[in-house]
Amino acid sequence: MGKQTVIDVTTISDNYVVFAISSTNNDIQCCMAINQIFGVSLQGKEPKNLSINGRIVQPSCFTAFDPNNRFTITLIDNQTNGGPFLDFLKNVSYFVKISPLDDKEKIADIQKYLSSNPDFLFVQSIDENNLKPQQKKMFDGFFQFL
């Protein structure tokens, strides 16, 4: 087996929005829901090893390009065998990253579409200004690579 690459989560990126979702659904059920909402077909991404505060995590990720909206949708599972990989957001089951996106009206529309699914118990765009500096650094660095 080849040598695994570990990406250290420290770099800051921009031009994307992350929605936090709480759901009892598994990965496949969440993929199907997002596929239905956006008319896409999420596909599994090759796992990446990410280093967060000395812990190596390998989140499950699924991605698709939405040609109608001209953005990429990525579903990221927040749960690992060792618990949530972003422990300061431990009540979040999944993250949905949309990139590129910075239009506030479009962000509100996407939140409304995601919230319309009855299997998503909670949907909220994450405002990085509400995060502590260390949390913001981890959050930005982590989502840059997924």
- Tell me the longest C-alpha to C-alpha distance in the chain: 47
Q: What is the pLDDT of residues 106-124, one digit of tens each?
A: 989 999 999 999 999 999 8
Q: Which CATH architecture has domain 6-144?
A: 2-Layer Sandwich (3.30)
Q: Does the reported pTM lie above 0.85?
A: no
Strands 17-23 and 43-44: unpaired
Boundaries of every domain in the chain = 6-144
Q: What six digits make up the tokens of 35?
A: 């596929």
The string of pLDDT tens digits covering residues 43-94 is: 998 777 766 666 676 778 899 999 999 999 999 888 776 666 766 677 888 9
Q: Which long-range contacts (CB under 8 A, 24 or more apart) does 122-126 make?
A: 122/20, 122/21, 122/22, 122/91, 123/19, 123/20, 123/21, 123/22, 124/19, 124/20, 125/17, 125/18, 125/19, 125/20, 126/17, 126/18, 126/19, 126/20, 126/89, 126/95
Q: Which residue has the higher pLDDT, 6 or 105?
A: 105
